[in-house]
Copies of this chain bind each other. A is one copy, B any other.
Amino acid sequence: MIDLNALAAKISPSPAEERKIKDIADDLLSQTKKLCKEAELNAEPMLVGSVSKGTFLDPDIDVFIAFDRKYERSVMVKNALKIGHKILKNGEERYAEHPYVTGSVSGIKVDIVPCYNITEGEKIISAVDRSPLHTRFMLKNLNDNERKEVRLLKAFMKASGIYGSEIRTKGFSGYVCEILILKLGSFDACVKSFASTRGKYLLPVGDDQTRKFREPVVIIDPVDLNRNAGAAISLENLSKMRVISKEFLAAPSEEYFFKKTEKKPRKMYRGTEIRIFRIPSPDGTDDTIYPQAERFRKILSSILAEGGFSTVGSELDVGKNIDVLVECRFKKSPEFLVHRGPPADSERTHEFMTKWESREDVIGPYIEEDRLLVDVPNDPVEIEKYVKSRLESYNIGAQIDSLKDEMIIIDPMKGKQEYHVLEKYFSRSVI
């Protein structure tokens, strides 16, 4: 066994560092309080997030200014930005649910964010209004030992790239880590829970409340029993957590808590046809661009599969460009496609039979097991031409649709240029 206490000390900030960060945070808080008072605002500044809760790995100071509900949004935002800029001389404005100011103090990232002041049980006005409730709840309920266990869990998840609820990651948020430790008691219990459960991951297990959520991970938010705090976690990340938990339990090692140096992709050319479909990244935040980029990837994969190119896998990379990679077995579509019809016991068999039965150029309709099938002749065409013709009719999303015409299709095996999406694709791994 490894010594988890010693490890926790290793991954956590030193007492001196923690003191320093707390001091900076407290100073920022009193500055904000002073400015609120001067401006005669009915607003309560508070520290939220992992620094305030003592569960952070990397320090990030979040100062929230919780305004009374009576304020209009525009007034709230105007005042908060003013205060933010006064405190953070190097501050810049960013746009999440409300605009906020981000900057740094002594090398530590600081956000100054407006929200509405909500008490437990009251209806929230904007999603950020929950953060103060979460912070208050954890301050009240997490003890020192549990805080240490939260840090272990976060480090474990971070090392495998499944920590963080932002849309690029779709992983476990810090707050989810805190709930897991609070409910299960320890890092060890948490890993055992992911290693041994099957199907959807539910917490509390067997709770009626969990049933109404459709996401793969359902973790009821203790401050709002109608909310799934694990809603952002993807099936892939749940699966990773399960596999890694089992790997760790089989042979515990400190390696699981530290990020591996980037693996080099192993082999590139392997007799397939790889294409990168590239469009310039439109302006906007990840929250608007990323879902569209994922839809773009999904559409490209499925039309190539439908077209008979025999897809092997795909990858997405969003940077200056949106790059979608799809690997196919065929460069050209085949002379015929096997078209799967409805099952024999469905109401749609007659429609299918009527459509295909009289066609002289098809084989079938015939039956395999419980399914109607037909072999339909196809005009063989190359990937590039096929994708361009099919993509036209698809609605990918406002920003990407307007850029479809600018799409270029790259064969990365030609030439010596490097592509991040290609490296990502060839270095896929669980750990």
Contact = CB atoms under 8 A, between A and B. Distances in A.
Contacts of A14: none
Contacts of A250: 350
A246 interface: yes
A243 to B, nearest CB: 5
A227 interface: no
B429 A365 contact: yes
A266 interface: yes
Given A198-B346, A271-B335, 9 more contacts: A236-B367, A239-B367, A239-B370, A242-B344, A243-B367, A247-B350, A271-B380, A365-B430, A366-B428
Interface string A371-406: 110010100100000000000000000000000000
Contacts of A266: 360-363
A428 B363 contact: yes
Contact of A238 (B199, B330, B344, B364): B344
Contacts of A137: none
A350 B235 contact: no
A356 to B, nearest CB: 10
Contacts of A368: 236, 313
A159 B250 CA distance: 61
Nearest to A353: B247
Interface string A399-423: 0000000000000000000000000
Contacts of A267: 361, 363, 377
A369 interface: yes
Contact of A366 (B235, B349, B367, B429): B429
A372 B430 contact: yes
A371 B239 contact: yes
A267 B360 CA distance: 10
A312 interface: yes
A336 interface: yes
A345 B271 contact: no
Given A353-B247, A367-B243, A335 B270 contact: yes
B366 A197 contact: no
Interface in A319-353: 329-330, 334-336, 338, 343-346, 349-350, 353
Contacts of A154: none
A258 interface: no
B335 A310 contact: no
Given A344-B238, A350-B250, A363-B266, A334 B243 contact: no
A328 to B, nearest CB: 12
Nearest to A346: B198
Interface string A238-265: 1110110011001000000000000000
Interface in A57-84: none
B428 A349 contact: no
A344 B428 contact: no
Contact of A310 (B310, B346, B350, B380): B310
A235 B363 CA distance: 21
Most B C-beta atoms less than 10 A away, residue of A312, A336, A370: A370
B428 A235 contact: no
Most B C-beta atoms less than 10 A away, residue of A198, A353, A363, A364: A363
A426 to B, nearest CB: 6
Most B C-beta atoms less than 10 A away, residue of A197, A240, A243, A343: A243
A344 B429 contact: no
Contacts of A199: 345
Contact of A349 (B236, B242, B329, B353): B242
A349 B246 contact: yes
A240 B367 contact: yes
B364 A429 contact: yes
A80 B350 CA distance: 51
B312 A370 contact: no
A85 to B, nearest CB: 44
Q: Which 3 A/B pairs are nearest by Cβ-Cβ distance? A: A239-B344, A366-B428, A271-B335
Contacts of A363: 266-267, 426-428
